[in-house]
Amino acid sequence: MKIKTAEFIVSNSEVDKCPKDQIPEYAFIGRSNVGKSSLINMITNHKNLAKTSGRPGKTQLINHFLINKEWFLVDLPGYGYAKVSKTAKRKFQKFITNYFEKRRQLVSAFILVDIRHEPQKIDLEFMEYLGVSEIPFSIIFTKADKLKPKAIERNVEDYCKKMLETWEEVPNYLVTSSSKAIGRDEVLQFISDTNTEIESLR
């Protein structure tokens, strides 16, 4: 898939105010500072489509970007950020779950995980929540440029083993690096294939 156009459409904290268009939607979410904004910019080939920040919890709204006028890329707030109040955290968590439970246009979620770290409880719990809610998702390992190929292989293998403690099979996963544009084609190919599949079922 070639990205011809990527445009910001709307930011809000209420699912009811999300775009009404009946087109496929792909949501990107992960812990704070996992490199979500950088990944979105890399995938869309736009330097500043999603705002990047060294400060965790920068994204605090549901952000919709229309790609090629064919599908929405949705940038969701990170979960588990430390720098916001408990009240704000509860509110954010509520609208994140509202989004996943009410948004009919959602085709798949991408859960971003820093490849350098061992499996984090909050990520595993969030994936379990999606599994129980029957929401399709893929894991995107980020920051692959920070490790050597053997370490990447080992860490992914360890992560898969951990997943198999509670899952019957390992969910689809992709390895990426925003700074080296690793995994860009694979992510876009997955979205393209899924969109084609949806079209064929209509």
Burial 56-90 (b: 16+ CB within 10 A, else e): bbbbbebbbbbbeeebbbbbbbbbbbeebeeeebe
Residue 28 lies in a domain: yes
The partner residues of 31 in beta bridges, in order of sequence, read 79
Tell me if 164 is assigned to some domain: yes
Has residue 55 got a pLDDT over 70? Answer: no
Q: Which of 27-31, 79-83, 119-123, 151-155 has the lowest mean pLDDT?
A: 79-83
In total, how many domains does the chain have? 1
Is the full-model pTM beyond 0.75? Answer: yes
Q: Is residue 172 part of a domain?
A: yes
The CATH number for 115's domain is 3.40.50.300
Structural domain includes residue 1? no
Burial bucket for residue 141 (CB in 10 Å: 0-12, 13-18, 19+): buried
Q: Is 52 within a domain?
A: yes
Q: What is the pLDDT of residues 77-130, one digit of tens each?
A: 887 654 556 665 565 577 888 899 999 999 999 999 999 999 998 899 899 999
Residue 54 has pLDDT above 80, yes or no: no
Summarize the confidence of residues 163-177 as an average pLDDT. 96
Q: Is the pLDDT of residue 68 over 70?
A: yes
Domain presence at residue 177:
yes
Could you tell me if residue 189 is inside a domain?
A: yes
Distance CA 144, CA 160 (A): 16
pLDDT bracket for residue 57 (50, 70, 90): very low
Domain-located, residue 88:
yes
What residue numbers bound the domain in which 177 lies? Answer: 6-13+22-201
